[in-house]
Amino acid sequence: MDRYRELLRLAAGTPSDVGLARTLSGRDSLTLNRQYTVAEIRPLCAKLLKLSEGLEYGTDYKFIDNVKPVRDKSLVATLEGLAFAELGALVSGQASDLHLSIPDILDPSRSLDVTYVGAKLKSGHKRVYAGVNVADYVEQLKLGTFSRLTLDDWRTTHAIKFAETGSADPDKHHKVRDCVVWEAVHNQVTYVLFGGEWFAIDDKFYVEIEKDFRRLIPSNVIVASTKATNEQKLLTELEKRPELLLMDKTKSNPTGAPTANIELCDFFSLDRQLIHLKDGHASSSISHLWNQGMVSSESFLRDEGFRRSALKNVRKRQKETNKAGFDVLLPTPAKRPSTSDFTVVYGIMRVPYKKTQKLDLPFFSKVSLRAAAQRLEDLGFNVEVHLIEMI
């Protein structure tokens, strides 16, 4: 188990106490595989209750406490109320780091119109936006009657709809509540709302993840800020720079996988940077970015066929763009690269948080980044995260 990538959903196995059951399995409830008499049920329940309150699991599985889904309904209700109150603070003009992140991967090549719908929003006033931003949603709340909006209204009726630019028919939607990303401290415990669920975060684990994230941010980045409103516009902006070779939409295939269609990177630099870029306002697209960098880098290291295809694409792009000097930085296909010569760069476009004014990422994106970065570093690659401010 990778404790930075896995969240315990359920468990199954053979108990150390073989008298308890032959097998056990469960999530919020427990299934035991063994015959019991009616008279044995009461002492069994007492034993299970004692076991459920014990801490013996911490000997081998302490990492389970790093991130714990909140199951207590009364606590969830309290946290939901705090999130709704934070939204009210935004409507009243106060600063907040609550933001929206789509739990889905949107095709960056598509031009999508975004609208917000739901109870107590202004009737007939569906302004169209170019992307998802909590400031736009708050604008719509202000135009409506937020004072009459209830927590239940917000949870069940407010949604973000997406449609092809110019089309009146939305092709997908998400509840606003399921797109909220927010960290709250309640009774000295840090809780994170992410992907529609609440999680309690261990303090030491939180600090550990934050420290590891900050070490990956260099003092010099490929671009500190941009007026580009999406990923494709940023690619167009950076393509003009002579030290960067655009590799977007060039597909390379490992040996035996003729339809894999893996990009070496979005840009290859004269400093041997393998640059992967993403608009970071969708939580799933950020995790996709980590995986994209891992898959291409591992293929580059381990597969001769992939290196041959990548070199061919680099030479082709050099010729098309009238640039030079990039192909000689790659090893010959038959030779594995010296990974320490290459840096995997994750470039992420973000709007600064309102309250702290920091460029940052959702907590769970940092958790999944740590696993990806450690894997790449174990292979010898250098890893950097470049946060690009959208202005």
Q: What gap in Å lies between CA 138 and CA 94, rounded to an integer?
A: 11
- 270 pLDDT above the threshold of 70: yes
Quick one: residue 220, left, alpha or beta (phi over 0 = left, psi -120 to 50 = alpha)?
A: beta
Distances 71 to 32, 199, 355 between C-alpha atoms, Å: 22, 9, 29
Encoded tokens for 201? 């975060």
Encoded tokens for 355? 């309250």
- Name the residue with higher pLDDT: 154 or 279: 154
H helices present in 250-388, as ranges: 283-302, 304-321, 363-378
Average pLDDT of 125-150?
Answer: 90
Average pLDDT of 132-155?
Answer: 93
Query: Per residue in 199-243, pLDDT tens?
Result: 999 999 999 999 999 999 999 999 999 999 888 999 999 999 999
pTM for this model (two decimals) = 0.81
Q: What gap in Å lies between CA 279 and CA 229, rounded to an integer?
A: 9
* Interstrand relation of 180-186 and 189-194 (parallel, antiparallel or unpaired): antiparallel
- 107 pLDDT above the threshold of 90: no
H helices present in the chain, as ranges: 38-52, 58-61, 73-91, 134-143, 151-157, 176-179, 203-215, 231-239, 283-302, 304-321, 363-378
Query: What is the DSSP-derived secondary structure letter of residue 13?
Result: E
Query: Where is average pLDDT lowest: 68-72, 100-104, 152-156, 269-273?
Result: 100-104
Tell me what the pLDDT averaged over the chain comes to. 90
Helix 363-378 × helix 203-215 angle, to 10°: 60
Query: Per residue in 71-83, pLDDT tens?
Result: 899 999 999 999 9
Confidence of residue 280 (pLDDT cuts 50, 70, 90): confident
- Name the residue with higher pLDDT: 362 or 339: 339
- Contact at 8 Å (CB) between 346 and 386? yes
- 281 pLDDT above the threshold of 80: no
Percent of the chain's residues with pLDDT above 70: 94
Query: Per residue in 11-68, pLDDT tens?
Result: 899 988 888 999 999 887 889 999 999 999 999 999 999 998 999 888 888 888 899 8
Q: What gap in Å lies between CA 100 and CA 176, rounded to an integer?
A: 8
Q: What gap in Å lies between CA 273 and CA 97, rounded to an integer?
A: 32
